A = this chain, B = another copy of it.
Amino acid sequence: MTGVRIGLDVGGSKTDAVAVAAGGSILARRRSATERGDVGVVDSIVAAVEAVSTRAGSLSITSIGIGIPGQTDGRTVRHAVNLDVRELRLADAVEARCGVPVAVENDVKAAALGAHALAPVAGPLALLNLGTGIAAGVVVDGRLWRGAGGAAGEIGHVPIDPAGPVCACGQTGCIEALAGGRALAARWARPGAFPVRDLLDAADEGHPLALRLRADFVRGAAAAIRLLALAVDPRRIVLAGGLAALGDRVADIVSEELRRSSAASGFLRSLHLGERIEVLPAGSPAAALGASLIDAPVPV
């Protein structure tokens, strides 16, 4: 095949688009603002496809893969709360405008596939998204693990503390209720564009609520890593998402919590959790690249 595949990562604020050669190299990349709502999302995607394919030159486009928050079934996206989308037949809409086969995948799963493509590893890889929500994508033998119903990796909704906060999902003490950015911001309740950064700053200054919330965050993130290691046993766990983008600061406190919680357990230490973790570099094209690699369903 001589054409290019387009991959898009549609985020709440930005859409990242890449044009990928048959061999897997990124020929062009473009980031632009995402408009919200059904029409806004489709317009943003079509504009990004046009812009990035222009940059990629005269090669023809063979497929478009879209990574997007929410539940997906290959063609439709549901409950993409940050995009003001309840249910959108996204593949149909973009195919009608662009004229090539389109595949739709959850953004975290797409990012896992991209992280694996950027740095292939023998054995399973997990990407743990520490963002507004908490979820993981798992790649095995280079293929995405979706599970029976697409729920594989939705570990944010595993309860780990009966005395923890109520989660948006209705359960109590979920990992996401402790460590998700949306839940932390709601509990922090101090206005600002970067509530989690503000919270970490306040914790450094000894603010009691901030210290409690930071402790909940590291507890939830460490639990997610431990749970992935015991359920899926990935060789590498890549931390991604808005909270991971805070960099060494977050990686350091999570690693410290893993050490602390392993102190009493030789079994847990034998898993070498700390050695499997790495942080996805800021600005990585993993999610858009991964979207370009998802299996396109047969065109309708």
Q: Does A300 contact B (CB under 8 A)?
A: no
Q: Report the contact-size class of chain A (Cβ under 8 Å from the partner).
A: 35 or more
Interface assignment of A17: CB less than 8 Å from any CB of chain B: no
Q: CA separation between A157 and B266, bound complex, in Å?
A: 12
On whether the beta carbons of B123 and A148 are closer than 8 Å, the reply is yes
User: Is the CB of A169 closer than 8 A to any CB of chain B?
Assistant: yes
Using CB atoms, name the residue of chain B closest to A151.
B233
B265–A149 CB distance below 8 A: no
CB-CB nearest in chain B for A136: B231
**Complex interface: chain B residues within 8 A of A268 (CB):** 157, 169-171
Highest count of chain B CB atoms <10 Å: which of A136, A154, A172, A233: A233
Chain multiplicity (copies): 2
Which residues on the B side are within 8 Å of A160 (C-beta)? Answer: 158-161
Given that A147-B124, A163-B163 are contacting pairs, would A227 and B231 also be in contact in the complex, using a CB cutoff of 8 Å?
A: yes
Say whether, besides A148-B123, A223-B159, A235-B148, A230 and B154 are in contact (CB < 8 Å): yes
When distances are taken between beta carbons in the complex, the residues of chain B under 8 Å from A152 are 231-233
Which B residues lie within 8 Å of A233 (CB)?
Answer: 146-154
Q: How far is the CA of A153 from the CA of B227 in the complex (A)?
A: 10
Measured CB to CB, the nearest residue on chain B to A122 is: B148
Once bound together, how far apart are the Cα atoms of A265 and B152, in whole Å?
Answer: 18
B contact residues around A261 at 8 Å (CB): 171
> Contact at B265–A153, with CB atoms within 8 Å?
no
A230 touches B171 (CB 8 A): no
A290 at the interface (CB under 8 A from B): no
Q: Determine whether the beta carbon of A231 is less than 8 Å from that of B155.
A: yes
8 Å CB interface, A159-186 against B: 159-163, 169-172
Distance (whole angstroms) from the CB of A157 to the closest CB of chain B: 6
CB contacts under 8 Å to B, within A231-287, are: 231-235, 261, 264-268, 271, 276
Give bound CA distance, A229 to B158, whole Å.
10
Q: How far is the CA of A162 from the CA of B160 in the complex (A)?
A: 8
Interface residues of A (CB under 8 A from B): 123-124, 136, 140, 145-155, 157-163, 169-172, 223, 226-235, 261, 264-268, 271, 276
For the complex of A and B, list the 5 residue pairs with the smallest distance between their C-beta atoms, beginning with the closest.
A147-B233, A170-B265, A148-B235, A231-B231, A152-B233
Beyond A154-B233, A171-B267, 9 additional contacts (C-beta under 8 Å) are A123-B147, A153-B231, A158-B158, A158-B160, A158-B231, A161-B161, A161-B162, A170-B267, A172-B264
Query: Could you pull out 22 A-B pairs where Cβ atoms are within 8 angstroms?
Result: A124-B147, A140-B140, A147-B234, A148-B235, A148-B276, A149-B233, A152-B231, A152-B232, A157-B230, A157-B267, A158-B160, A158-B223, A158-B227, A159-B226, A162-B163, A163-B163, A169-B265, A169-B268, A172-B264, A227-B231, A228-B231, A231-B232
